[in-house]
Amino acid sequence: MINGIMRIGIYGGTFAPPHLGHVRAAEEFFKQMELDLLYIIPTAVPPHKQIDAADDPRHRLAMCELAFGSMPRVIVSDMEIVRGGKSYTVDTLRALAAQDRCLFLLMGTDMMLTLDQWREPEEIFRLCYPVYMRRENDPVIEGQIIAKNSAYLSKYGKIVRRIPMEFVDVSSTAVRERVAMGRSLTDMVPEAVAAYIEKEGLYV
Ligand code: ATP
């Protein structure tokens, strides 16, 4: 809390499944932005990608509870799943915005580079401070980030600030591929998530 303003973090994603890269990102986000509260919000239908019809949002919500639920001052929210349909970040920001709140929106590099293609980007920039984390160390991307930030600054009056963090080279795609190969998920997802995937027979 700074000057009576609550610092609220928002971390949305498909989380199919949540992995250790997500968990680490959430921890660093919380610490570095000095958040009072962090919302983890699994999407209903992500606007930017196809997900398997069998990939029930309730499973993703349950796995988010297992991955993030024990972190203090973290709320795993079903608001986008309950809202249903395509999940637009701008709607989520509108639902969480309030006068005594400052909203921070976390994303990975891939999302940072496409933020101007989301629905109502100028509203997104108005309602929150977007921040990003590198999830790879490809030097080519550094140049793309700089170019995007200068475009964002002139179009929306803000840049997407970087949260420095050692990147964790894991993706949900890689996790699903591992499951399909029948291999162990050690070092990729929290233990409870691995146990849930096995019990429910997901991604086989
Ligand atoms: P998929 O492999 O299915 O595309 P994903 O691993 O990118 O999934 P998402 O649920 O789509 O996972 O990601 C949610 C958010 O977390 C996005 O903003 C994404 O950029 C970010 N993110 C994903 N993996 C990492 C990682 N290893 N480090 C930092 N951020 C990440």
Check: CB of residue 42 under 8 Å from CB of residue 80: yes
Ligand 1 neighbour 15 (Cβ under 6 A): yes
Check: CB of residue 119 under 8 Å from CB of residue 88: yes
Could you report how far apart the first and last alpha carbons of the chain are, in Å?
A: 44
Sole residue written with tokens 């109502």: 120
Residue 55, pLDDT score:
77
Q: Which helix (H) or strand (E) holds 27?
A: helix 20-32
Backbone angles phi, psi at 3, to 5 degrees: 50, 40
Average pLDDT over residues 160-174: 94
Is pLDDT above 90 for 137? no
Sole residue written with tokens 């108005």: 126
Residue 85, pLDDT score:
87
Centroid of ligand 1 to alpha carbon of 136 (angstroms):
11
Centroid of ligand 1 to alpha carbon of 123 (angstroms):
23
Tokens of 87: 């999940």
Pairing of strands 74-76, 6-13: unpaired
Ligand 1 neighbour 134 (Cβ under 6 A): no
Residue 125, pLDDT score:
98
Digit-coded pLDDT (tens) for 11-70: 999 999 999 999 999 999 999 999 999 999 999 976 666 656 447 899 999 999 999 999
Pairing of strands 74-76, 161-162: unpaired
Average pLDDT over residues 167-189: 94
Ligand 1 neighbour 189 (Cβ under 6 A): no
Centroid of ligand 1 to alpha carbon of 173 (angstroms):
9
Centroid of ligand 1 to alpha carbon of 34 (angstroms):
22
